[in-house]
Amino acid sequence: MLARIRYSARLARRIARCSELPAASRRSLLRMLLVATAGLVRGYRSVPVPGGRLFVGRQSSLIDITTIVDVWEGAMFPARCAGRVVVDVGAHKGYFSSWALSHGATAVLSYEPQSENVTALQLGHDSHDAASSWLVQAAAVGAESGRATLYLSGESWGHSLHRHMADTVRSEQVDVVTLESALSRADALRPGAEVVLKLNVEGAAGDILFAAPPEALTSVVEVHLDHEPGSPHSADSILQHLADAGLSDVQVHLGRLYRITRPLQAR
């Protein structure tokens, strides 16, 4: 309990300093943090943010609050969304998707397979002023379309199609689509638009990207991915595949968060 209190105290300081969030959002998060620290969250609770609301889960409230702050501080996935379509793979509860809309994305396509996360994601979508530009699909993105086993972690952000990547407590059968189909859907929604691709998929980034030939990535101008320890494909192999598609400018944060873009002269 003492460790939980210390963690919450550090998180409270981050919330108070997060100028990207309006004051009402910070106050709501601080109240929610107090309840979460005491272990009293019993149902979904929501946080007002520009354009809508974000929903925090019942059993992962501290992690969810942390993720909201990570995203809204802009350090986790510092994407340039204005005028672009965002394809959010591993969308969790929609925190990055909502952030992208507030930062000028013309449309967002969110892919999330886990049922409870999808419930919170859909609630966030339904609350948003730009819901008509935000498409939610309850599916994983993988090497091939069909059905697959999703291994569920005790924490809402830790689910994976790779059993060894999750601290598995149970599993679900989920729909799977390919990245190529997701990008085709994005182009149908906003023909010719540049695409920002975000991948937070607990080891599946290589599976997803290697199944998409370089020519399928023509519309993608920016990729954000979290290359988690234990991932079955090396970061170097993933970066080489993206470089073959013209995405060769690489920045790394915290040793695992990658931002990959096209060289300016190629845009």
38 or 146, which is more confident: 146
Share of the chain above pLDDT 70, in %: 99
Domains, in order of start, for the chain: 1-76 (no CATH), 77-266 (3.40.50.150)
Q: Using 50, 70 and 90 to split pLDDT, how confident is the model at 154?
A: confident
User: Tell me, what's the pLDDT at 254?
Assistant: 86
pLDDT of residue 150: 94
- State the pLDDT at residue 72: 95
pTM (two decimals): 0.95
Share of the chain above pLDDT 90, in %: 81
Q: What pLDDT is stored for residue 266 in this prediction?
A: 58
3-class secondary structure per residue, the chain? CHHHHHHHHHHHHHHHHCCCCCHHHHHHHHHHHHHHHCCCCCCCEEEEECCEEEEECCCCHHHHHHHHHHHHHCCCCCCCCCCCEEEEECCCCCHHHHHHHHCCCCEEEEECCCHHHHHHHHHHHHHCCCHHHEEEECCEEECCCEEEEEEEECCCCCCECCHHHCCEEEEEEEEEEEHHHHHHHHHHHCCCCCEEEEECCCCCHHHHHHCCCHHHHCCEEEEEEECCCCCCCCHHHHHHHHHHCCCCEEEEECCCEEEEECCHHHC
pLDDT range class, residue 267, cuts 50, 70, 90: low
Q: Is the pLDDT of residue 104 over 90?
A: yes
Mean model confidence pLDDT for the chain: 94
pLDDT in tens, 165-198: 888 888 999 999 999 999 999 999 999 999 999 9
